[in-house]
Amino acid sequence: MRGLAIAALLLPLAIWSGSAMAEPPSAPEPVTIDRVCDLIETNALRHGVPRAFLARLIWKESRFDADAVSPAGAEGIAQFMPGTAKLRGLADPFDVERAIAASAEYLAELKAGFGNLGLAAAAYNAGENRVTRWLASGGFLPLETEDYVLDIMGEPADNFTDVAYAGTVHPLDKDKSFSEACRQLPVLQAATIAMASINIKPWGVQVAGNFRRAAAIKQWQRQKARFPALLRDYDPVVSRVRTPIGRRGVYAVRIGVDARADADIICQKLRGAGGAHCLKQNVTDSVDAPAGMAMDRCSGLGDGWRGSAWRHGRN
């Protein structure tokens, strides 16, 4: 009995001692822009990928948001699809440190496999098989991928079909160090649209268009200034639209909506206020004009834009 009593007295002490010695769980390191830029720089150098290229790609993917989830299901700061993350050995796409490392490693492999960074970016976005088929059979990449490469590399994906062509990775800001410029990406790249936020709408009102991207954006800015009450709540998407005018197509600025009726309402308001518009269904396939598509003609956009766009003819 005496032994049991001593044991009973010692047990709480043992429990207390064990608790005192146990390490409390460490809080995860906060995801700051400083940390993200440091991880980008470290992993870019480790895997032989240009720092500015990796920074632009990660920014384009998620706006440096570690918790980003796209409408298609891509996850984390580097926007890995679950299947790709599993193939890459990335257990948690929301782990910023591991995700950026996996992204840099994957991009280095894509560059080695396809021959240049332009095709590596295209494959990161559209998938390796899609880019391989495009190179072998011709045709077109998805418009989303063409815009993706243009935002990151500053030139069209078509330029990189010659694998000997490397293109030029420009610094984030020629007057600043990478470290400083990376931390200012929210200002430098404010006009780009994160892939994680793109939820393609079936219908859209086209409010500007031009053969030159910069001119199309300026047209949108003029339209927005002209009709602030009507357009201030919309975030447009800039994409390259193919037309019979030429293979390169034009850059279109569109406001996405869910239904034809919503697009009609905006069009009527714009028309009533003296604005120009095109009604267009977003096309995500790689062909110019799928079956069932009809031509819509608009006017008044000017600056070399002849107003041809595709819309769905069955609705």
Handedness of CA 138, 142, 147, 148 (dihedral sign): negative
- Compute the distance between CA of residue 275 and CA of residue 189 in angstroms, rounded to an integer: 29
287-298 core/surface letters (b: 16 or more CB in 10 A; e: else):
ebeeeebeebeb
Give the SS3 label for residue 95: coil
Structure tokens at 309: 């766009």
- Compute the distance between CA of residue 197 and CA of residue 187 in angstroms, rounded to an integer: 18
Q: How far is CA 54 from the centre of its chain?
A: 13
- Compute the distance between CA of residue 293 and CA of residue 314 in angstroms, rounded to an integer: 8
Q: Is 61 a catalytic residue?
A: yes
E runs forming strands in the chain:
203-210, 237-243, 246-257, 278-280, 293-297, 308-312
In DSSP terms, 253 is beta-bridged to: 208, 238
Catalytic residue, chosen from 23, 61, 97, 155, is 61
Say which residue the tokens 């201030």 belong to.
Answer: 232
Residue of 222, 186, 194 whose CA lies nearest to 57: 194
Structure tokens at 270: 């714009």
Q: Which amino acid is at 10?
A: L
Q: Which residues are known catalytic residues?
A: 61
